[in-house]
Amino acid sequence: MSRVVFYSEPNDRVRLAEDLAPDDLDVSVIDPDLPWDERKELLADTEVLILGGLAMPYEELVQLPKLKMLQLMSAGYDQIDVPAVREQGIFVSNNSPQIARSVAEHALGLMLTVQHKFVPGLEGVRDGSWRNPVRSGVYEIGGKTIGIIGLGNIGRLVATMVRGFGPAEVIYHDTANIPAEVEAELGVRRVGFEELLSTSDIVTVHVPLFSETLGMMNSDAFNLMKESAIFINTCRGPVQNEADLIDALNDGQIRAAGLDVFEVEPTPADNPLLAMDNVVVTPHLAGSSEERVERALVFSYQNARRVISGTEPEGQFEVLK
């Protein structure tokens, strides 16, 4: 029976991975905190390695002679040297379609929380004062211009969701060619990067992290945005230059931000973003819905079957910039 390993520290996902394991695959769980010599022996016959949120160093991967595929539970792949792994004949696949709804809903939740000032409103109830500190500065999403940077699986769902709030112009920027029929179906319009920044009321980023997106939201980008605009990031922290973002928020260059990700995670307790009244933060949990985890596991096992049977997997990466 073909060997599939779910590579994760003990948590609730491990139990679900075991519960969903199909009978035709020999699925086991290995804790990455075990010493390498012990892990190497346990992984020796592994054909498919499902990474439950953790990366494995390339130096270790190449010591697994039967490995055919790395299956990520995440949409992001910045922790894996994909070209180097592919050169070894090992497929690398992500879980982008399965995680998309969870992240898109979270991005929308951050938009709502920032626009409607849910946090100070909640504090005014919990402290017993029933004070209303949010009589001004509350804004709707409907009628605004929403700028989506990256129109992949997640960006497309965001485009669909924001239209549920009423009339809105949805524009996007992407280096990939998006078919005209997809644009028409979503009701989106392609614009240049600078035009998106200068005309959007809400800028939300949904791009992978690689050399061209590293620090793309920097002082130059924030300076182009409206002073009334808000910035949303649920993809990867290093896409934003955090020092520049802090300056833009302090200087009133942009109005507010909603962040699920940071340059360094966990972010230091003294990170100025954590103390700002115009910033809403969550601890990188956009893709953590129960439904998403189950979808990702089912997809991972289906992909394992494909590779073991000699078929190429879905969601694979060939070449990265």
Mean pLDDT (10-residue bins), the chain, 321 residues: 84 89 93 92 94 85 94 86 91 92 98 91 77 77 97 96 92 96 97 98 95 96 98 97 98 98 96 96 94 95 96 75 37
Per DSSP, what are the bridge partners of residue 280?
258
Cβ contact 87:107 at 8 Å: no
Q: Retrieve residue 226's tokens.
A: 């409206």
For domain 3-97+289-308, the CATH architecture is: 3-Layer(aba) Sandwich (3.40)
N-to-C CA span, the chain: 37
The predicted pLDDT at position 135 comes to 66
Q: Where are the domains of the chain?
A: 3-97+289-308, 98-281
Compute the half-sphere exposure of residue 123: CA atoms within 13 Å on the CB side of its CA.
6
The predicted pLDDT at position 143 comes to 94
Contacts 24+ apart (CB under 8 A), 238-241: 238/209, 238/214, 238/263, 239/205, 239/207, 239/209, 239/213, 239/214, 239/215, 240/205, 240/215, 241/215, 241/217
Type of residue at 62: V
Residue of 201, 214, 207, 206 whose CA lies nearest to 242: 214
CATH superfamily placement of domain 98-281:
NAD(P)-binding Rossmann-like Domain (3.40.50.720)
Residue of 120, 133, 103 whose CA lies nearest to 261: 103
H-helix or E-strand spanning residue 30: strand 26-30
The predicted pLDDT at position 320 comes to 41
Tell me if 3-97+289-308 shares its fold with 98-281. yes
Q: Residues near 111 by Cβ (< 8 Å), separated by ≥ 6? A: 141, 162, 202, 204, 230, 232, 258
As a whole number of angstroms, the distance between CA 230 and CA 279 comes to: 9
Compute the half-sphere exposure of residue 23: CA atoms within 13 Å on the CB side of its CA.
0
As a whole number of angstroms, the distance between CA 234 and CA 172 comes to: 16
Q: Would you please indicate which residues are annotated as catalytic (active-site) residues? A: 236, 265, 284
As a whole number of angstroms, the distance between CA 62 and CA 70 comes to: 12
What order do you get walking across the sheet with 69-72 strand by strand? 26-30, 3-7, 48-51, 69-72, 91-93
Count of H-run helices and E-run strands, the chain: 12, 12
The predicted pLDDT at position 299 comes to 96
The predicted pLDDT at position 215 comes to 97
Compute the half-sphere exposure of residue 18: CA atoms within 13 Å on the CB side of its CA.
9
The predicted pLDDT at position 175 comes to 94
